[in-house]
Structure 1
Amino acid sequence: MRKLSFGMNVSLDGYIAAPGDDIGWGGPPSEELFQWWLELERASGLSLYGRKLWETMSSYWPTGDQQPDATPAEIEFARNWRETPKVVFSSTIDKVDWNTRLVTGDAVAEITRLKAGDGGPMGIGGATLAGAAMRAGLIDEYQLATYPVLVGGGTPFFTALDNWVNLNLVETRTFPGGVVLTRYQTRR
């Protein structure tokens, strides 16, 4: 069975986006944090995206390595992003590119099917999609890069749940700028 992880940058008050879908509150990640995200992405065998995150990622990373100021890590991230198989879950778009497949039906059923298959770990991104996977008990690990900023509202990292989910802390790490990484695995 494949492992499913949900990781995002998050404000100290628990939001992945401020009101108006503003994700600029964190500023660019430090080189060290960006490298950590790159290593996580390299280890992923499949990336699962909701529509909004897909639109954000696909608007930059297909050519991110061609930007004049791209760092070596950004060049590697862009190349890895293009090469990693991706699944986008959306009922409002009709075309995806860059080694990506579109799913318009039941997201939980498809994620369950993908988890039961062979392959490397999977990462999931996007609040609505990850929220559905959380409620279905499909997420095995949570990775939060918490920034020292309060945004006061917006899109929360965690969704409302029907039941408690017990977690084990498996890693903490501090990055430049006061960003604190915490990784938790779901107790089964």
Structure 2
Amino acid sequence: MRKLIYGMNLSLDGYVSGPGDDLGWSAPSDELFQFWLDQERMISLFLYGRRLWETMSAHWPTGDQQPDATPAQIEFARNWRDTPKVVFSSTIDKVDWNARLVAGDAVAEITRLKAGDGGPMRVGGATLAGAVMRAGLIDEYEIVTHPVLVGSGRPFFTALESWVNLNLVETRTFPGGVVLTRYETS
């Protein structure tokens, strides 16, 4: 069975984006960017909701060709292009960059993928992750908390029908007061 990881940057008050999908508060330090790159290198399949897919596919296909791209950003772009992706959406009709589109039941497809062989998968996008979280499919949470309160926006966590007990497996501090907490489900 494959491991399913949900991890994103979030504000101290629990949002992955602020009002109007603003991400300006979450610009990573070089050390944090390197952390995310190292994590992404271990993923064998990315699972994206439409909004996150649109954000990622707007930049990373050519992120390594930007004049100011750092070595880590160049590697991130290459890794992103090379890693297989599944995009869950009923409103777009085409994806590229080593991705396939699923318009049907996301939870059923992710359950099927998780039951198969292969390396870890990462679910990205708060709406998609919320459905997967409610289905009890997430094995690990990587929460990178930034010291900012944005007041509203898209929440990292969704309403659950029952408790989920977690075990803390790692903490780490990054420049600017950013803190990683990594948990596995019990």
Q: Please list, as runs of the form range in 1=range in 2, the aligned pairs for 1:151-166 lying within 5 A after superposition.
A: 151-166=150-165
Q: Please list, as runs of the form range in 1=range in 2, the aligned pairs for 1:23-34 lying within 5 A after superposition.
A: 23-26=23-26, 28-34=27-33
1:72 — aligned with what?
71
Q: Could you tell me how far apart the structure 1 residues matched to 2:153 and 2:57 are? A: 22
Please report the TM-score for the alignment, with normalisation by the length of structure 1.
Answer: 0.98
Q: Could you tell me how far apart the structure 1 residues matched to 2:2 and 2:87 are? A: 18
Q: Could you tell me how far apart the structure 2 residues matched to 1:112 and 1:24 are? A: 34
Q: Which runs of 4+ in 1 moved over 2 A?
A: none
Count residues in correspondence: 186
1:40 — aligned with what?
39
Q: Please list, as runs of the form range in 1=range in 2, the aligned pairs for 1:23-172 lying within 5 A after superposition.
A: 23-26=23-26, 28-172=27-171
Q: Could you tell me how far apart the structure 1 residues matched to 2:17 and 2:71 are? A: 27
Once the 2 structures are TM-superposed, how far is the Cα of residue 90 of structure 1 from its aligned partner? Answer: 0.1
Counterpart of 1:12, as a letter, is L
Once the 2 structures are TM-superposed, how far is the Cα of residue 139 of structure 1 from its aligned partner? Answer: 0.3
Once the 2 structures are TM-superposed, how far is the Cα of residue 94 of structure 1 from its aligned partner? Answer: 0.3
Q: Could you tell me how far apart the structure 2 residues matched to 1:31 and 1:148 are? A: 17
Once the 2 structures are TM-superposed, how far is the Cα of residue 21 of structure 1 from its aligned partner? Answer: 1.1
Once the 2 structures are TM-superposed, how far is the Cα of residue 22 of structure 1 from its aligned partner? Answer: 1.0
Counterpart of 1:8, as a letter, is M
Helix, strand or coil: the match of 1:184?
strand
Deviations 1:45-102 (A, max 9, x none): 0000000000000000000000000000000000000000000000000000010000
1:17 — aligned with what?
17
> What is the RMSD of the two structures over their aligned residues, measured on CA atoms?
0.5
Deviations 1:94-115 (A, max 9, x none): 0000100000000000000000
Q: Could you tell me how far apart the structure 2 residues matched to 1:117 and 1:39 are? A: 24
- Structure 2, unpaired ranges of 5+: none
Counterpart of 1:134, as a letter, is M
Once the 2 structures are TM-superposed, how far is the Cα of residue 19 of structure 1 from its aligned partner? Answer: 1.3
